[in-house]
Amino acid sequence: MSGAGRVLDEAGGLGAMTGVMAVMLFLTVLAAAIGLGTAGAARLVDRQLAGRLTVQVVVGEPGARDAAAARVLAALGGSPDVARANPVDQAELARLLRPWLGDDAANPELPVPALIDVDLRDPGDAAAARVAGLVRRAEPAARVDRRERWMSPVNRFLRTLTLTAGALVLLMASAAAAVVVLAARAGLETHRATIEVMHMLGATDVQVARLFQRRMARDAALGGGAGALAALGVVALLGGQVQALGSELLGGVALSPKEWAVLAALPLVFVALATAAARWAVLRRLRRIL
């Protein structure tokens, strides 16, 4: 059987599996990294924005605006639903508006609304509704915005990317299984005469299938390992560049140690998949042709 195994190992079609698996693992690891990263960014957005409100006191006259903002702050401070309420410094607002308004952004007569950042004890809709009603009673000109609404399009986009990446991983796994099945069938046809001789010498279908499984597992391990290492290098490079940007949102894309472990385990999953697909394809084909 060892000599027959060497003959089957020399199948040219089977050797192409190494390159195919390298490409597939490279793309799969990249897709999985994108999916894990965008899922982490979506979770970060949820954590940061859950239960956070922004109150805008829109009053044209600066003195009346400041007085209205003080009333709203006093009302918020007495609410059991509010964990924290801090006014946004007007100088900070002027700095943010300077790219659009120039030096006029610091003009005290400019009708810039007063902003108050609010953190709720309970991120639910009921608490937000109670706080909104409290603010409007204190100052009818005030507006209450939930930050979750601002970022909901971004969150939907991140979740769509996550689902798309997951679908790509499943698609690549299915394609890998299909390639293994085709390669196994091609190998059987190439060595049909050899396999018939092996059967006459007493080899069983399971023994023949084991020879193909060994070759498929080896090619999948070699190609998949090379492709996965290349992809992990690309992911690490891109992750370093993302961290260098200093963006709080993009920082959520950074992978955790557990997620790196998941990526590193993908070649093992593909080896197991290739082995199982080869065994199924060979046994099924042998029952039909021999």
pLDDT of residue 171: 93
Convert the pLDDT of each residue in 26-46 to its tens digit. 999 999 999 988 888 888 777
pLDDT of residue 103: 66
pLDDT greater at residue 117 or residue 243: 117
Convert the pLDDT of each residue in 67-92 to its tens digit. 888 888 888 888 888 888 888 887 77
Convert the pLDDT of each residue in 98-119 to its tens digit. 776 666 656 666 677 888 888 8
Report the chain's terminal Cα–Cα distance, integer Å. Answer: 19
Amino acid residing at 19? G
114 strand-pairing partners: 57
Interior angle at CA 63, CA 62 and CA 65, nearest 5: 60
Convert the pLDDT of each residue in 176-224 to its tens digit. 888 888 877 777 777 667 776 676 766 676 777 777 778 788 888 888 8
Q: How far apart are CA 152 and CA 253, in angstroms?
A: 17
What is the mean predicted confidence (pLDDT) over 234-244? 80
pLDDT of residue 28: 93
For residue 164, is pLDDT > 50?
A: yes
